[in-house]
Structure 1
Amino acid sequence: MQRQQLHASGPVFSRIISGAWRWNLPDTAVNTLIETSLDCGITTFDHADIYGDHSNEAIFGNVLRKNPSLRQKMEIVTKCGIKFPSAHRPASWVKHYDTSKEHIQWSAENSLKTLATDRIDLLLIHRPDPLLNPEEVAEAFTVLKQQGKVLHFGVSNFTSTQFEMLQSYLSFPLVTNQIEISLSHHTSMFDGSLDTLMKHRVAPMAWSPLGGGKLMSDNTAMFSKAVKYTATETQLALAWLLKHPSRIFPVIGTTRPERVKESADATNINLDLQDWFEMLKIVQGKEMP
């Protein structure tokens, strides 16, 4: 498995990342997914405080408490800033965002406890907040960094201007923007989103890299090249992302160990230039202009 830096001053992550969004599972099942990922060279795990109705971090943490040595083999990403009505958060009566200094610090501290770790490798603001005060965010990030509780920071779902605005308030780099990117959702390749990240030498993380399964069900013609590459449809879709010069890090969301192994092998595929464009042509329904 390839490992690369998100930024020259950022963390080194596995090129494929295991996402814990759906890991609201028994501890034994999560342990199997962790072990399988590590065996395949996938060392980076993506969380958010809200996943599994605020439960998935704790399940993951239970596994680490039982086997603390696993923590030294992995990098942990988590996110904060979204609140919604939940029995676990009775103070919220409407879905909203909170990027205040106090909430970012509280959320990071809470994630440290639930994940049973002494540091978070990468903390992301989960969604752009219309009330985001960049000075407060910068203060929270700076304190957490100085305390050694969070090593690196980034954002998720930010536009190019939102990314650059927040970066302008920080004395250290935002090391990623986690956005939706897939063969079926590739607007970021043409609207300037990836250009901005490349300008700052920042690698993006891609959520829903398989288009939520639509690639498998709606565009079977796209994968006629599977025999040529001795690959599966999943591997071709991930290889298509890995080809992009922005150095996309796909975040897979499977709960099946065999799919973890399948996805990891996508890093061995180097798509031909014309095959890459032909796959784009099929999903767009037209050739490049």
Structure 2
Amino acid sequence: MTTAVPHAPHVPLGADGPTLSAIVAGMWRMAAWQLDVAARVRWIEACVALGVTSFDHADIYGDYQVESLFGEALAAAPGLRDRIQLVTKCGIRLVSPHRPAHARKSYDTSPAHVLASVERSLRALRTDRIDLLLLHRPDPLMDPDALAETFRALRESGTVHHVGVSNHAPSQLALLHGRHPVVTNQVELSPLHLDPLHDGTLDQCLALGIRPMVWSPLAGGRLLTGDDARAVRVRATLESLGRTYGVSAATIAFAWILRHPSKPVPITGSRRIEAVREAVAALAVPLTAEEWYAVWEAGAGREVA
């Protein structure tokens, strides 16, 4: 039996990468939480108290509003910025009243768009630096040489310390990594989304010595509440293992991700501090290989071949 870990450690994403908390707080839904500034400050401080000091943003989150909401909290508590790490993403253009020049949803990794996005994120977050900037989605029109030069300029300016990608296939990451160091690939992984285990994504992270970041580790909540046969089957396995270790099914789901040798860094997505605490508790759950495969089998719906 085990108990929840009270404090998440910090881990390097790779030899050339930043150091983040082993569990990262995801900001995707912050606008929907309807928290006033003081409540946002308290929430950030509660995460930091658990050792969760890294916060994952994107310029588009909350229809381009979440970064500003978070920045208001940092402005209200100036000492917080030096205790946390900020991750944000760019490269998606949404049709939005907050971006009237966007005529259609598209991807844009042009130097002009990346530079403008960074400037807007810095202003919104009320900071002078971004610890990790990610390309949100692969862009078929990406010019890797021009983008690498842009990343070098941003790093030399001190405004962006490290860069990575999100949702990129191995070939797409390699195209950029050959020109500028890419320190992570943030991908979807859960017992209900197994693709990165088998399409070369995590193999590449191991080969390059970089840690992947993982979004939607609970499959958007479907692992805990979904009523389809697959979700029910996986949940039963997670609950059974949870009883063995004395933790929740959610904690086992995070432990399953952490068990992979690429040493993923999972991202939570909940405003509930108890949910963040459950994610941190997974750091102390040493799943055996057979237990890991039991979860895989439930998700895949079959034994290994």
TM-score range, shorter chain: over 0.9
Residue 127 (structure 1) shift:
0.4
Task: Please give the alpha-carbon distance, in whole angstroms, between the structure 2 residues aligned to 1:58 and 1:162.
Answer: 31
CA contact (8 A) 1:2 1:267 kept: no
Amino acid at match of 1:4: V
Residue 140 (structure 1) shift:
1.2
Aligned residue for 1:119? Answer: 129
Q: List gaps (5 residues or longer) in structure 2.
A: 1-7
Secondary structure of the corresponding residue to residue 174 of structure 1:
coil
Task: Please give the alpha-carbon distance, in whole angstroms, between the structure 1 residues aligned to 2:39 and 2:195.
Answer: 35
Aligned residue for 2:278? Answer: 262
Aligned residue for 1:58? Answer: 68
CA contact (8 A) 1:43 1:74 kept: yes
Does residue 15 of the first structure (1) align with residue 31 of the second (2)? no
Does residue 185 of the first structure (1) align with residue 193 of the second (2)? yes
Does residue 128 of the first structure (1) align with residue 138 of the second (2)? yes
Secondary structure of the corresponding residue to residue 161 of structure 1:
helix
Aligned residue for 2:183? Answer: 175
| Equivalent position to 2:93, from 83, 92, 103 | 83
Secondary structure of the corresponding residue to residue 127 of structure 1:
coil
Task: Please give the alpha-carbon distance, in whole angstroms, between the structure 2 residues aligned to 1:43 and 1:84.
Answer: 29
Amino acid at match of 1:63: A
Q: Deviations over 1:10-34 (max 9, x none)?
A: 1111111000000013323322321
Q: Deviations over 1:37-68 (max 9, x none)?
A: 10111011000000000000000000000111
CA contact (8 A) 1:32 1:257 kept: no
- Structure-to-structure mapping, 1:203-218, within 5 angstroms: 203-216=211-224, 217=226, 218=231
Aligned residue for 1:41? Answer: 51
Task: Please give the alpha-carbon distance, in whole angstroms, between the structure 2 residues aligned to 1:22 and 1:30.
Answer: 13
Aligned residue for 1:222? Answer: 237
CA contact (8 A) 2:86 2:130 kept: yes
Task: Please give the alpha-carbon distance, in whole angstroms, between the structure 1 residues aligned to 2:264 and 2:184.
Answer: 10
Amino acid at match of 2:10: R
Does residue 201 of the first structure (1) align with residue 209 of the second (2)? yes
| Equivalent position to 1:6, from 2, 13, 20 | 13
Amino acid at match of 2:60: I
Task: Please give the alpha-carbon distance, in whole angstroms, between the structure 2 residues aligned to 1:135 and 1:232.
Answer: 46
Residue 227 (structure 1) shift:
1.1
Aligned residue for 2:171? Answer: 161
| RMSD of equivalent CA atoms | 1.0
Q: List gaps (5 residues or longer) in structure 1.
A: none
Q: Decide which moves more: 253-262 or 76-85.
A: 253-262
Residue 107 (structure 1) shift:
0.7
Amino acid at match of 1:12: T
Amino acid at match of 1:55: Q
Which 4+ runs in 1 deviate beyond 4 A? none
CA contact (8 A) 2:41 2:76 kept: no
Task: Please give the alpha-carbon distance, in whole angstroms, between the structure 1 residues aligned to 2:25 and 2:182.
Answer: 21
Amino acid at match of 2:202: L
Task: Please give the alpha-carbon distance, in whole angstroms, between the structure 1 residues aligned to 2:209 and 2:40.
Answer: 34
| Identity rate, percent | 43
Task: Please give the alpha-carbon distance, in whole angstroms, between the structure 1 residues aligned to 2:39 and 2:272.
Answer: 9
